[in-house]
Structure 1
Amino acid sequence: MLELNLWFFAVAGPAVLFAGISKGGFGSGAAFASASVLALVVDPGWALGVMLPLLMLIDLASLKPYWGRWHLREALLVIAGALPGVALGAALYHVASPDFLRLLIGLVSVGFVAWQISLKRGWLRIGGKPMPDGAGLLAGIAVGFTSFVSHAGGPPAAVFLLSRNLGKTGYQATSVLIFWAVNIAKFIPYAFLGMFTLETATANLVLSPFALAGAWIGVRAHRAVPERAFFALTYVLLTVTGVKLIWDGLT
């Protein structure tokens, strides 16, 4: 049973605020860490159930500032792959070990950053073309599955979107659109799995201001940060989340 005590809200408030800032201004690469933080104080299943409605609220608050500025082709490719990924996550939720997938996605995330740095510094002069459409579908499957089992769909989405050379706001808007659709797709399976209760609804009500404040801060931070610094920060976040996923998968 989910215990809504002072310790829970002391941990959950900053975690949800961080998720809002990450999703509202800097893609979704690091937002999954909020569910991981909550899992330190409650059962992981409860952490997922608490976070999903809050993530959906952040998505909704972030849509208007970026409306129409997304790259629809890239978004639809990832969403098309994510829907079967969500279905796979729902089917295998009780039997699949997410640790191996965390390890795999973490290695891909860190490896991608290393690859991009090598290209920009001239250490490698091949493979600099944008990933093909098929890679977007495969990334989408990883997005759907990892998002379902741990809200960790940000890194595989970032790997594909960053390779397509989108601008700062185009990248952010596309990420917002993707996870708005993916999180809606996750809601019904989560409900059938019993992840939503009166306690999670109460937690959502109390934590909603943190989610909205984080999204507001994130949108304004996005506008203030120059494009070069934005992508540098995005790569840092992707590296940090990749390392965190590797650590979680191994430990």
Structure 2
Amino acid sequence: MELTGGAWALLVLASALVGLSKGGLSMVSMLGVPILSLVMSPVQAAGVLLPVFVVSDMFGLIAYRRHWDRRVVACLMPGAVAGVALGWATASLVDERWVGGIVGVIGLSFALVTLLRRAPAEGPQRRAEWGRGSLWGLAAGYTSFVSHSGAPPYQVYVQPLRLGKESYAGTVTVFFAVVNAVKLIPYAALGQLGSANLGAAAVMMPVAAASVGLGVWLVRVIPQRAFYLFITWALLGVSIMLIRDALV
């Protein structure tokens, strides 16, 4: 697929958002597919962005290699892999807008409850549970495969665990790095990883690297309470956007 000048400009913006998310500002990467959908189909946008996600993951893994919760990732990962497989199996049957709408309702509900209850961002860390982790991992893997919108289910499960801000940022980075690597196989099988998409990802490497670095710096300087407030409001905004897209 040949990218026009306007598409390249939007790809730079989407890649910067992806990089910021891999630097720890989760949720903002979900704006990438809607932005690119202004100049191409959502399916094409997801295919173009997956290699950019993988490139950004590499820099995120380097930045957070010492700051992530292994138990949380272990609890989520079996369900996530199953969710990716389910997404692959039903790729031709599912309307991604409705999937996004369901994700939006879940995310909106969680964000509103969190904001209205004013749940504390700090306090004793809670232990990750395998049962709930598998369920929300399945949802995150499936929605990540369909439309790169796995962050809301992930956040619903992980945010109440009260990880430290760097641990939270590192855990989301490691989790979705593995999920995106798993997604490469079915995306390739569906013809979404052509040379044009891979070439675009290669060109975006400097944007991704710089944006990851900016995201890491912002996580370090933002107070923990403000960090959790930011990701909650970001979840609220993205959820509203997903619901709107499903109803249009």
TM-score range for the pair, normalised by the shorter chain length = over 0.9
Aligned with residue 147 of structure 2, among 147, 150, 161: 150
**Contact in 2 for aligned 1:67/1:173 (Cα 8 Å):** yes
- Distance, in Å, in 1 between the alignment partners of 2:130 and 2:239 is 23
- Distance, in Å, in 1 between the alignment partners of 2:175 and 2:100 is 20
Give the equivalent residue in structure 2 for 1:247: 244
Residues 1:21 and 2:15 are matched in the alignment: no
Matched positions, count: 243
- Distance, in Å, in 1 between the alignment partners of 2:36 and 2:91 is 19
- Distance, in Å, in 1 between the alignment partners of 2:231 and 2:150 is 15
Q: Tell me the alpha carbon deviations over residues 65-105 of structure 1, each in whole angstroms, 9 at most, x when there is no partner.
A: 21132111111111111000000000111111122221111
Q: CA deviation at 1:107?
A: 1.0
Q: Tell me the alpha carbon deviations over residues 174-209 of structure 1, each in whole angstroms, 9 at most, x when there is no partner.
A: 101100110010001100100011221222222222
RMSD, aligned CA: 1.7
Within 5 Å, give how 1:75-90 maps onto structure 2: 75-90=73-88
- Distance, in Å, in 1 between the alignment partners of 2:106 and 2:213 is 31
Give the equivalent residue in structure 2 for 1:64: 62
Give the equivalent residue in structure 1 for 2:32: 34
> 1:6 corresponds to which letter in structure 2?
G
- Distance, in Å, in 2 between the alignment partners of 1:114 and 1:197 is 40
**Contact in 1 for aligned 2:187/2:193 (Cα 8 Å):** yes
- Distance, in Å, in 2 between the alignment partners of 1:77 and 1:22 is 22
- Distance, in Å, in 2 between the alignment partners of 1:69 and 1:210 is 23
- Distance, in Å, in 2 between the alignment partners of 1:81 and 1:244 is 26
- Distance, in Å, in 2 between the alignment partners of 1:205 and 1:131 is 36
Give the equivalent residue in structure 2 for 1:49: 47
SS in 2 for 1:68: coil
Aligned with residue 117 of structure 1, among 115, 118, 142: 115
Give the equivalent residue in structure 2 for 1:5: 4
Q: Tell me the alpha carbon deviations over residues 202-223 of structure 1, each in whole angstroms, 9 at most, x when there is no partner.
A: 2222222211111111111111
> 2:85 corresponds to which letter in structure 1?
A
Residues 1:207 and 2:204 are matched in the alignment: yes
Moved more, 229-238 or 67-76: 67-76
Q: CA deviation at 1:131?
A: 7.6
Moved more, 18-27 or 83-92: 18-27
Give the equivalent residue in structure 1 for 2:123: none
**Contact in 1 for aligned 2:115/2:232 (Cα 8 Å):** no
- Distance, in Å, in 1 between the alignment partners of 2:101 and 2:127 is 24
- Distance, in Å, in 1 between the alignment partners of 2:180 and 2:69 is 19
Give the equivalent residue in structure 2 for 1:125: none
**Contact in 2 for aligned 1:130/1:165 (Cα 8 Å):** no
Residues 1:230 and 2:227 are matched in the alignment: yes
- Shift of the 130–210 alpha-carbon distance from structure 1 to 2, 3 Å rule, reads same
- Distance, in Å, in 1 between the alignment partners of 2:45 and 2:156 is 26
- Distance, in Å, in 2 between the alignment partners of 1:216 and 1:169 is 14
TM-score by length of 2: 0.92
Which stretches in structure 1 are left out of the alignment for 5+ residues? Answer: 123-128
